[in-house]
Amino acid sequence: MINSGEKISRNAPGALRLGAIELPGRAFLAPMSGITDIGMRRVASRCGAGLVISEMVAANFYIAADEETRLRAEGEGLPVHVVQIAGREPLALAEAARLAEAAGAHAIDINMGCPAKRVVGGYAGSALMREPDLALSLVRAVVAAVTAPVSVKMRLGWDADSLNAPVLARAMEAEGVALITVHGRTRNQFYKGRADWAAIRAVREAISIPLVANGDCASLADARAMLAASGADAAMIGRAAMGRPWLVGEIAAGLDGRPWRAPSPRERANAALEHYRTLLDLFGERQGVRHARKHLAAYADHAMDEGMGLSPAMRTKLVTTTDAQEAADLLEQAFQSAQELAA
């Protein structure tokens, strides 16, 4: 349920922990490059997500004070701010972690799961699973650099012949990592086929720290099945949260048996507009409108799936206009019924 005035309590009995931080739910918003900007994370957090994580931040660019990279690491207004860093140089990752903590990050996540060619081509992301010694040296450097808890996101392995996530996770726990997330695919699968939730169980059996399962979770039923198959403590939701960031809170409430009231169309419109206006504030109107288009399309499409929304022509205008106010007006209309639009 959306409640802009409600503060999230981290004192619930038996709450899941990220180091010393108690989290309010067992459904997390996944870090997604170009997607989980601060606007989306604020909405998801306020709607009850147990944790939200920044877009991937390249350590070298962050150290160089690149402005766009700094915006990816923005966390103002979040009850728990986690910055995900990526790279393959221990000193650079350690420095990026120190800078993020100094800027307000409550926790640091290390990316060892991104399958993108541009990341793997730089021998970072999931490529690190082929270099376990280097991966552990990165973890060791980051853990030593900050007082904040450190987590790692990885895949099952590089390919089907090297499913080394359990061995790596056990070694990372020994180095002081507080939480592990595993996407139920290998790097070579990218996002093809279905995530293998049952394969994540081998990691559960290897570690005692909290484990988060990721991959193809799009509903409460998926999350329950994912946790049952993997033995994980929490579910991470990625692409399914685009256009409906409140989904993460809905799943978190369901996993804990708490009541959930779906946000009304008006509340959804307000959340979408808040997200959109945050992007305009961050990037300026011209760049902000372009940056927002994928989100505008997702909000409009989910509204249409629920019987609201725009005509095809109006949707096209929403995702092509360069007029910031026109986009805002169309986004608001996306959450109105056909009767309301005709009135």
pLDDT of residue 113: 86
- Three-state DSSP at 99 gives helix
Q: Give domain status of residue 292, yes or no.
A: yes
pLDDT of residue 15: 74
Do 331 and 248 lie in a common domain?
no
Do 21 and 52 lie in a common domain?
yes
Among the candidates 203, 230, 255, a domain finishes at: 255
- Is there a contact between 154 and 132 (Cβ–Cβ < 8 Å)? no
Distances (CA, A) of 160 to 113, 170, 179, 189, 216: 15, 19, 24, 9, 19
Do 140 and 280 lie in a common domain?
no
CA distance 85 to 56: 6
Q: Give domain status of residue 3, yes or no.
A: no
Q: Give domain status of residue 286, yes or no.
A: yes
Q: Which of 114, 128, 138, 318 is catalytic?
A: 114
Total count of domains within the chain: 2
Give the torsion through C-alpha atoms of 131, 133, 135, 141, to 10 deg. -150
Do 213 and 283 lie in a common domain?
no
Tokens of residue 119, six digits: 């990341």
Q: Give domain status of residue 10, yes or no.
A: no
Mean pLDDT per 10-residue run, the chain (343 residues)?
Answer: 36 72 97 96 97 96 95 96 96 98 98 77 78 95 98 94 95 98 90 93 98 98 98 98 98 96 94 97 94 97 90 95 97 80 54
- Domain with residue 53: its CATH number is 3.20.20.70
pLDDT of residue 14: 55
Do 210 and 310 lie in a common domain?
no
| Angle, CA 218 vertex, CA 76 and CA 124 arms, to 5° | 60
For residue 73, give the nearest of 44, 31, 117, 23 by alpha carbon: 31
pLDDT of residue 120: 59
Do 198 and 59 lie in a common domain?
yes
Q: Give domain status of residue 260, yes or no.
A: no
Among the candidates 204, 226, 255, a domain finishes at: 255
For residue 43, give the nearest of 317, 329, 268, 287 by alpha carbon: 268
Do 135 and 175 lie in a common domain?
yes
pLDDT of residue 4: 35
For residue 56, give the nearest of 65, 45, 69 by alpha carbon: 69
CA distance 217 to 175: 29
Residue 114 annotated in active site = yes
Do 249 and 269 lie in a common domain?
no
**Other CB atoms within 10 Å distance of the CB of residue 70:** 14
Do 207 and 321 lie in a common domain?
no
| Angle, CA 33 vertex, CA 32 and CA 38 arms, to 5° | 75
**Which residues form the domain of 70?**
17-255
Among the candidates 255, 282, 297, a domain finishes at: 255
Q: Give domain status of residue 113, yes or no.
A: yes
pLDDT of residue 192: 83
Do 98 and 139 lie in a common domain?
yes
Q: Give domain status of residue 6, yes or no.
A: no
CA distance 216 to 236: 9
Let me know if 294 is exposed, middle or buried by CB neighbors in 10 A (0-12, 13-18, 19+).
middle
Do 34 and 104 lie in a common domain?
yes
The number of C-alpha atoms within 13 Å of 9 and in the hemisphere containing its C-beta is 5
DSSP 134-181: HHHHHHHHHHHH-SS-EEEEEES-SSTT---HHHHHHHHHHTT--EEE
DSSP 273-322: HHHHHHHHHHH-HHHHHHHHHHHHHHHHHHHHHTT----HHHHHHHTT--
Q: Give domain status of residue 5, yes or no.
A: no
Do 276 and 133 lie in a common domain?
no
Beta-carbon contacts of residue 64 (< 8 Å; ≥ 6 apart): none
